[in-house]
Amino acid sequence: MSQHTQTAPQPQTAGNLFANLAFNIVIPVLILSKLSTDDYLGPVWGLVAALAFPIGFGLWELKQSGKLNFFSIVGIISVLLTGGMSLLQLDPKYIAIKEAAVPGLIGLLILISGRTRFPLVKTILENMQLLNLVLLKEKLSSNGTEQQFEHTLDQATRIIAGSFFLSSVLNYLLAKWLLVSPPGTPAYNEELANMTALSYPVIAIPSTLIMMGAIWYVFSRIPKLTGQSLESFFHEQ
């Protein structure tokens, strides 16, 4: 089902992370693998029940945040597409194409954002609210290194886009490898459970590490471009 959708790094509490894993990975996997036989919910209702948890959690997160989050919305749409294709019993190859298309499209949009006034990395830095960006801009301007910093942001944006393209390839390969049974069968639901379970260690963790590496790269360049320590740009607590 690949409920886990790679997102831009955001601060998360341990409780939020646990809930995310529980509702997006653990509970759906258990339902698909253990409760989708004819003795319990059956393959169709098992799939519907498994879908309800990540969709419900995604909607709850949107309500809690009080604002639209592009990545959360994409995650919900992705789950709905997977569920719809499975319930319509389409050939699993279409699931694999969808699994590749969603992160691939996001990666393309990230590259395009780098050519606008609102590149993704700058947006991430603003949302993280760790740095005093006004002070940073002043120091970059006084040092004449604003253009170099913009180039750094552009490179980081390309790295993050690359992480989504990597996710696209891994999603496709994982789906093609695991989804071999006809949809609407307990075997198919179990394969979907395996794909969902493996999506976290095989796809989400490597891609997230790459994204974190891109942010670290930006942070590492700030002292070199401003002549001041990174800590001096942190907001005072």
Relative orientation angle of helices 186-199 and 70-87, to the nearest 10 degrees:
160
C-alpha–C-alpha distance, residues 62 and 66, integer Å: 6
pLDDT of residue 64: 80
pLDDT of residue 51: 92
pLDDT at 17 over 80: no
For residue 1, being part of any structural domain is answered with no
pLDDT in tens, 129-182: 778 888 999 999 999 999 999 899 889 999 999 999 999 999 999 999 999 999
Angstrom CA distances, 190 to 106, 128, 164, 230, stand at 28, 38, 26, 48
pLDDT in tens, 19-38: 888 888 899 999 999 999 98
For residue 61, being part of any structural domain is answered with yes
Highest-pLDDT range among 10-19, 112-121, 224-233: 224-233
Give the end-to-end CA distance of the chain in Å, rounded to a whole number.
Answer: 41
For residue 55, being part of any structural domain is answered with yes
pLDDT at 203 over 80: yes
pLDDT in tens, 110-133: 888 878 777 777 777 777 677 888
For residue 20, being part of any structural domain is answered with yes
pLDDT of residue 49: 95
Angstrom CA distances, 178 to 91, 182, 205, 230, stand at 13, 12, 19, 45
Tell how far CA 30 is from the center of its chain.
22
The whole domain housing 116 covers: 14-233
Task: With cut-offs at 50, 70 and 90, classify the pLDDT of residue 52.
Answer: very high
For residue 3, being part of any structural domain is answered with no
For residue 218, being part of any structural domain is answered with yes
Cross-strand pairs, 131: 234
Domains in the chain, number: 1
C-alpha–C-alpha distance, residues 150 and 141, integer Å: 12
pLDDT at 202 over 70: yes
For residue 116, being part of any structural domain is answered with yes
Chain mean pLDDT for the chain: 86
For residue 63, being part of any structural domain is answered with yes
pLDDT of residue 3: 46
Task: With cut-offs at 50, 70 and 90, classify the pLDDT of residue 65.
Answer: confident
